[in-house]
């Protein structure tokens, strides 16, 4: 089994057991997950604390009663140097903001007014930016302002494909559930656990962004962040159920039912049909994936006609919960809002993109095709790292050999 497969199997085992614990003992699960979330802060403070311990150890080595302990002094000096460099890189580290285009009020006044009115109802303050991205999503992303996540900026990330595919009512319903979810009125602990799920992967940033000195922090979070993601998945599902309940404060039962069903079916169609087709095309034509978002609306509406929508709804209703899927099953979401059968209106009304960003849509579509979403690197397998090291050594030796052959020989 490869290193990646072994790691995925471990995460699956952890996620499956945690899911069972969350169902049987929800309070114990939330308490344990909160403690595990705090462990991330301990990982960040490890290097600064080791610097203090190293300075104290150096002082004790120099202040020996008989003679200076040179071995201990050298060892503590190495610890102080390495951890000091990592602490310096951590202080200067600035996590990347969500990839996309930041809107201002003059560009989309109707969209800003909708967000402000909805946020005012739930008391959700602190949305600093509205970012339009090229993926199908609607989320609030917290980005630490400094190396330590003591203060963060919150960005409302709206996918242009989502606005093109959803009607104004469906979009408003999904916006209401998301802003209500982050109002932290009734579920502050669960929401905080979800926020940390977005923050910890930032510290797995690549070496090109952080420098060599950030390696200890990056190595710690390459292990910790995936584990926390697996552990907190059940908390995210619970938070999504709370979000569905919040949407019913501003929308009727039928509108919430339609929005939940449509969003679930769209995500399922994209995962089962659209993205596999894009990957297959990309294997044949390298440029196919660069235009993947441009035709998403047309493909969705063509594939989800009145005669096929029922089949996709039945498929969504009969699905089993996957251990790494943060979205609750559609059956559970419907039961949470007091419904048994899913319903989705197949009539194509005016999309949210036409209502709120009609003038910007063509420009945004062209610009977003060139923006790639950030990917957090995982731990490379030992064989991959050794192969890279071997290539580097061979390249260096080959360069030295050629330099020696081209050097002028003494007469």
Does some domain include residue 32? no
Does some domain include residue 53? no
pLDDT score at 28: 94
**DSSP one-letter code for 316:** H
Residue 237 sits at φ, ψ, to 5 deg, of: -60, -40
What end-to-end distance do the CA atoms of the chain give, in Å? 59
Do residues 351 and 296 make contact, with C-beta atoms less than 8 angstroms apart? no
pLDDT score at 380: 39
Of 40, 38, 8, 6, nearest to 220 (Cα)? 40
In 3-state terms, what secondary structure has residue 224?
A: helix
Q: How many residues does the chain have?
A: 411
Does some domain include residue 317? yes
Tokens standing for 170?
């469906």
Does some domain include residue 407? no
Does some domain include residue 353? yes
pLDDT score at 41: 93
Check the CA dihedral 163-165-171-175 and report its sign.
negative
Of 340, 332, 350, 337, nearest to 169 (Cα)? 350
pLDDT score at 308: 84
pLDDT score at 407: 57
In 3-state terms, what secondary structure has residue 140?
A: strand
The whole domain housing 124 covers: 101-368
| Residue numbers in the chain where pLDDT is lower than 70 | 1-5, 64-68, 184-185, 206-210, 285-295, 369-411
Does some domain include residue 17? no
**Domain count across the chain:** 1
Does some domain include residue 56? no
Give CA–CA dist 248/177, Å, rounded: 8
Give CA–CA dist 400/395, Å, rounded: 9
Does some domain include residue 108? yes
Residue 341 CB contacts under 8 Å (≥ 6 apart), including other chains:
334
**Could you tell me the strand order of the sheet in which 101-103 lies?**
101-103, 127-133, 152-159, 138-144
Number of Cβ within 10 Å of residue 6's Cβ equals 11
Cα-trace Rg, the chain = 26
Number of Cβ within 10 Å of residue 301's Cβ equals 14
Strand partners, 158: 132, 138
Tokens standing for 80?
């102080």
Rounded to 5°, angle at Cα 108 from 105 and 113: 70
């Amino acid at each position: 089994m490869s290193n990646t497969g072994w790691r995925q199997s471990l995460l699956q085992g952890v996620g499956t057991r945690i899911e069972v614990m969350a169902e049987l003992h929800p309070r114990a699960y939330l308490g344990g997950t909160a403690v595990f979330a705090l462990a991330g802060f301990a990982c960040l403070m490890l290097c600064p604390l080791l610097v203090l311990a190293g300075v104290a150890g150096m002082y004790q080595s120099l202040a020996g009663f008989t003679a200076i302990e040179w071995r201990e002094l050298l060892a503590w000096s190495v610890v102080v140097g390495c951890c000091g460099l990592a602490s310096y890189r951590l202080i200067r580290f600035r996590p990347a903001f969500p990839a996309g285009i930041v809107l201002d009020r003059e560009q989309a006044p109707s969209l800003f007014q909708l967000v402000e009115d909805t946020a005012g109802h739930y008391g959700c303050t602190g949305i600093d930016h509205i970012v339009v991205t090229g993926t199908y999503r609607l989320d609030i992303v917290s980005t630490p302002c400094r190396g330590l996540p003591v203060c963060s900026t919150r960005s409302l990330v709206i996918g242009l494909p989502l606005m093109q595919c959803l009607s104004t009512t469906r979009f408003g319903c999904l916006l209401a559930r998301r802003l209500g979810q982050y109002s932290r009125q009734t579920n502050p602990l669960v929401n905080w656990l979800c926020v940390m799920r977005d923050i910890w992967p930032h510290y797995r940033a690549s070496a090109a962004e952080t420098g060599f000195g950030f390696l200890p922090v990056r190595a710690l979070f390459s292990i910790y962040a995936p584990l926390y993601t697996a552990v907190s998945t059940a908390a995210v599902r619970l938070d999504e159920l709370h979000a569905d309940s919040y949407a019913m404060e501003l929308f009727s039962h039928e509108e919430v039912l339609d929005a939940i069903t449509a969003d679930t079916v769209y995500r399922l169609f994209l995962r089962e049909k659209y993205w596999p087709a894009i990957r297959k095309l990309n294997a044949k034509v390298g440029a196919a994936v660069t235009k993947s978002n441009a035709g998403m609306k047309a493909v969705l509406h063509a594939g989800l006609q009145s005669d096929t929508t029922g089949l996709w709804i039945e498929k969504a209703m009969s699905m089993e919960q996957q251990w790494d899927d943060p979205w609750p099953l559609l059956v559970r979401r419907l039961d949470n809002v007091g419904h048994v059968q899913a319903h989705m209106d197949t009539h194509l009304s005016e999309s949210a993109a036409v209502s709120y960003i009609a003038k910007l849509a063509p420009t945004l579509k062209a610009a977003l095709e060139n923006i790639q979403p950030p990917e957090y690197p995982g731990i490379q397998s030992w064989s991959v790292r050794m192969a890279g090291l071997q290539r580097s050594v061979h390249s260096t030796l080959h360069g030295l050999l050629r330099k020696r052959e081209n050097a002028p020989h003494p007469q």
